[in-house]
Amino acid sequence: MKGYDELYAWIYHVFSDGEFSIDEFRATFPSPQAPKVIYDLIAQGYLERVNRGSYRAVGPRSLIDRLTRPPKEDILKEASKEYAYCASNAVTIWTEGYYWTGFTKGFKPRHIKVREADLNYWRRFFKGEGVRSVIEGESKTLYGLVYILHPEEDFEVEYKDGFKVIPLEEVVAYCLARELVYQPALEYLDERYDTSRLISRKAREGYRKREAIEAIVRP
């Protein structure tokens, strides 16, 4: 545990959700800087001031809700470098919210393409916003909202419903490479945008063969 996490746990263990004074805090947790520690705990959301000189630990449920609350949605609009949503997020954008995948209850990834030359900028940007970011393929335990950076030398950007996103042709190619997962998305995209014109002849033939096989084995 880091920072005041462990101290908060002990405060809640001792006082639960009851009020306590700074003298009671000092008597329980010997500290030469009790007022500063109390101030820091309030500033970081672990304690709340009840009355003058009286405090209470924030309940674990409230603390969890605060820690897992997503940041503002328009965070990328404040960035000065180019980006484009890609991978599963691009599929969701181009299908206009019809197809969602690639996330769990505890993991909310946002995939974006960025320029390789801008990687340091993006690391600083997300750190400054208090949001986690990793480079695609990094070996890390991922949880909550995480921006997955896909660095490339350069890339194309299109606008779809207010979002910067990779071109539709790239989204179709992404789905075709993962057809077992994205077949519903491919069908939606074809119906909505006539994407068969974007698929190479070889890929289209393979897609039609699979459709034919499915029609035969389908009860």
Whether 70 maps to a domain, the answer reads no
pLDDT at 1: 43
Whether 159 maps to a domain, the answer reads yes
Whether 139 maps to a domain, the answer reads yes
Query: Percentage of the chain with pLDDT > 90?
Result: 59
Looking at 42, 65, 88, the residue that finishes a domain is 65
- Give me the long-range contacts of 159-166 (CB less than 8 A, separation at least 24): 160/93, 160/94, 161/93, 161/96, 163/85, 163/93, 164/76, 164/82, 164/83, 164/84, 164/85, 165/84, 165/85, 165/86, 165/89, 165/90, 165/93, 165/94, 166/84, 166/85, 166/86, 166/90, 166/113
Tally the domains of the chain.
2
pLDDT at 68: 65
pLDDT at 143: 82
pLDDT at 215: 47
> In what order do the strands lie in the sheet containing 132-135?
132-135, 144-152, 107-115, 83-85, 163-165, 158-160
Closest CA to 85 of 68, 119, 121, 109: 109
Q: How far is CA 198 from CA 189, 201, 204, 212, in A?
A: 11, 9, 9, 20
pLDDT at 4: 84
Distance CA 13, CA 7 (A): 10
The range of the structural domain enclosing residue 50 comes to 5-65
Q: What is the pLDDT of residues 49-105, one digit of tens each?
A: 998 889 999 998 887 777 666 666 678 989 999 999 999 999 999 999 999 988 888
pLDDT at 105: 81
pLDDT at 210: 52
Question: 56 and 163, same structural domain?
Answer: no
Q: Is residue 16 classed as helix, strand or coil in its secondary structure?
A: coil
Closest CA to 81 of 178, 167, 149, 35: 149
Residue stretches of the chain with pLDDT short of 70: 1-3, 67-73, 198-219
Question: 119 and 18, same structural domain?
Answer: no
Tokens 């709340």 found at: 48
pLDDT at 213: 40
